[in-house]
Structure 1
């Protein structure tokens, strides 16, 4: 009986020591005890930001592992396959800040480097030719890899649809990536990001010609409510045009001239109905 008691006591002591040891982190000059964990905490990740690199894969990796800019992930235009799945590059741990967004704004947040994950897609972007500006498409294999990566991120961090954005959305005065050929609708169909319902767009269009002029101030106010950094003064100046163009590249990529037209106004209204009722 006494031997059994001693064995139980020894087992308890070992378990106690093991539990204490596993909660202790040795940081060289001090020990950190992690046995008490606060409930009032959350992730730094609130946004997912899409980019294109404008250069090929090798140069993209060289630049993004250099001293000036970085991103959490790079999705090749032709991902290699390993064990039946596409391979993407992770350059920065998700819990660390990458330098991909620069001066930025979305839904009241500024400097999104601190609160976002950045994905760079290998894509040459706009190419000026004698016949006009051309855009490089995103190949199906790249889109498949991007969807798998993005879905994993938005599910793990519970990123709302309206917080999956392009660089041009959060910095429209400086940036135009990921461009009008970026597969926003394909991502939406895979459960990633926002998209308006066609029926709601038609309802708000209310029989108007899609190209008919719309009230500039009203469209500014809708886009500001959705998340954009835009004035609400009713003036269609170059800054406002760039915001309108960024919105159109995202949600109406066949026409992103930056005009205030009825279709853009209807799309914005449908998005607000769906995501900010």
Structure 2
């Protein structure tokens, strides 16, 4: 019989561009950001992480893409794509100070910005949440400056035109979404939830402003 994945020990599978990401002292990290992949599986999430979105420049910088540091599959398997001492591109405005953790979850996939498909209905399995809690506690022990936790939706509250109707605004980011068990995580991890914005409203018609 297959053995249960060891969620206590993330497997290290660095992305090809990891060494080109800016280095940072671990003392700079005080925040962890929880995401969901909004993709069907870990294989697809890896493919997205491998995409080079920022072309290489003459000074040797660039040639990188968007990725979290850690990915946790539905069965609790945990993989590390980017080392914590590198700045990954995973959340607008907070990358230099944060670690990104991605939970495999379909979210709004494949109609991310369609106003008719904004529900996030996939629950987070116990094995996945247990692995997340274990990882958070390990990071908390390894990084004395780590004290804050946030959801992607807490930090990126932008509203954008819906893909099906530009007169409707939808949240740019909703992850980890309404089914993420915040209370369970906060009860078991000594981190304070950081919220800089309000929860994005449900899709709504823009008011005619004349502006």
Question: What is the TM-score normalised by the length of structure 2?
Answer: 0.62
RMSD: 2.6
Q: Which structure would you say has the larger Rg? A: 1
Aligned twin of 2:183: 185
Q: Please say if 1:147 is aligned against 2:133.
A: yes
Aligned partner of 2:199 in structure 1 is 245
Give, in whole Å, the separation in 2 of the partners of 1:131 and 1:58: 23
Aligned counterpart, 2:48? 63
CA distance in 2, matches of 1:183, 1:170: 18
Aligned partner of 1:240 in structure 2 is none
Contact 2:72 2:103 in 1 (8 A): yes
SS at 2:67's partner residue? coil
For 1:133, what is the secondary structure of its paired residue? coil
Stretches (4+) displaced over 4 A: none
Instruction: Give 5+ residue unaligned stretches, structure 1.
Output: 1-40, 80-86, 104-110, 196-225, 229-242, 247-255, 259-277
Deviation of the 1:192 alpha carbon: 4.0
SS in 2 for 1:177: coil
2:75 to 61, 75, 78: 78
Tell me whether 69-78 or 119-128 shows the greater mean CA deviation: 119-128
Residue 122 in structure 1 maps to residue 120 in structure 2: no
- Say how many residue pairs are matched: 147
Counterpart of 2:152 in structure 1 is 167
Q: 1:45 to 1:57 in 2, by over 3 A?
A: same
More helix by share: 1
Matched-pair contact (CA < 8 Å) for 1:65–1:91: no
**Is the CA contact 2:69–2:80 (under 8 Å) kept in the aligned structure 1?**
yes
* Structure 2 residue matching 1:58: 3-state secondary structure: helix
Shift of 1:131: 10
Aligned to 2:6: none
CA contact (8 A) 1:187 1:193 kept: no
